[in-house]
Chains A and B, each alone.
Chain A
């Protein structure tokens, strides 16, 4: 998997005006659907998955969420990245009773089911670097966000 195959500027949204995570996920999923990357069923599936298996990462300083859902709903693998002007509340991955404030959402849709673990690990490793999260929050536009993700997710992505 190469970063160029799953990262496109048209799926980077640097100002998603959403007052809760459901709205943010809806905007992102509808974007992927409108561009043909996912099936219509993905839009509801991403909500259900987040409700049952939350994806907030409780880093020490800046936080991020990494929602995804099953490969069945996907036409073509893609990362969708969104930045919000205000925090919304996400539950913590692996510890659903904990809540964290989130302004960065790194959604993905993967067609190959067996690669989901690899990409999750890659994204988590990338976002464990607070400097990367800070750069994503401070980026001026979609192109800058693209470049940060290209460099940092790209270098952690396994060649396989």
Chain B
């Protein structure tokens, strides 16, 4: 089953849309499937059901044991490869 990644930003309007697309494109290039869902950072603690990984531009609240990658790399272009490696290490079977 495809892993579930929650993509969050402060607002869940434009920013997480862009971040989500960038992650999706990178995963597609590598032939990796995942379910990506976007939301506001403040909503993250209420949307954890079945989530394997959280990628966020801004701090999120208490998420228990679920790994969190906080990064602006998908907006700035700096460190994308390192973040993609991290993302893949969390979602591969």
A94:B76 contact, CB within 8 angstroms: no
- How many residues does chain A have at the interface if contact means C-beta atoms less than 8 Å apart? 22
- One of A19-27, A36-44, A54-62, A82-90 at the interface: A54-62
Q: What residue of chain A has the Cβ atom nearest to residue B57's Cβ?
A: A94
A59:B76 contact, CB within 8 angstroms: yes
Indicate whether A93 reaches chain B with its CB closer than 8 angstroms.
yes
**Which residues on B sit within 8 Å (CB–CB) of A121?**
18, 21-22
Complex interface bits, B53-93 against A, C-beta within 8 A gives 1, otherwise 0 = 00001100000000000001001111000000000000000
B15:A59 contact, CB within 8 angstroms: no
Q: What residue of chain B has the Cβ atom nearest to residue A129's Cβ?
A: B77
A93:B78 contact, CB within 8 angstroms: no
Indicate whether A135 reaches chain B with its CB closer than 8 angstroms.
no
Indicate whether A52 reaches chain B with its CB closer than 8 angstroms.
yes
B72:A92 contact, CB within 8 angstroms: yes
B58:A128 contact, CB within 8 angstroms: no
A93:B21 contact, CB within 8 angstroms: no
**Which residues on A sit within 8 Å (CB–CB) of B76?**
57-60, 128
Task: Identify the B interface with A (CB < 8 A).
Answer: 9-11, 13-19, 21-22, 57-58, 72, 75-78
Could you give 20 example pairs across A and B, Cβ below 8 Å? A53-B13, A55-B14, A57-B75, A57-B76, A59-B76, A60-B76, A60-B78, A92-B72, A93-B14, A93-B15, A93-B75, A94-B9, A94-B75, A95-B10, A95-B58, A95-B72, A96-B58, A117-B21, A120-B14, A121-B22
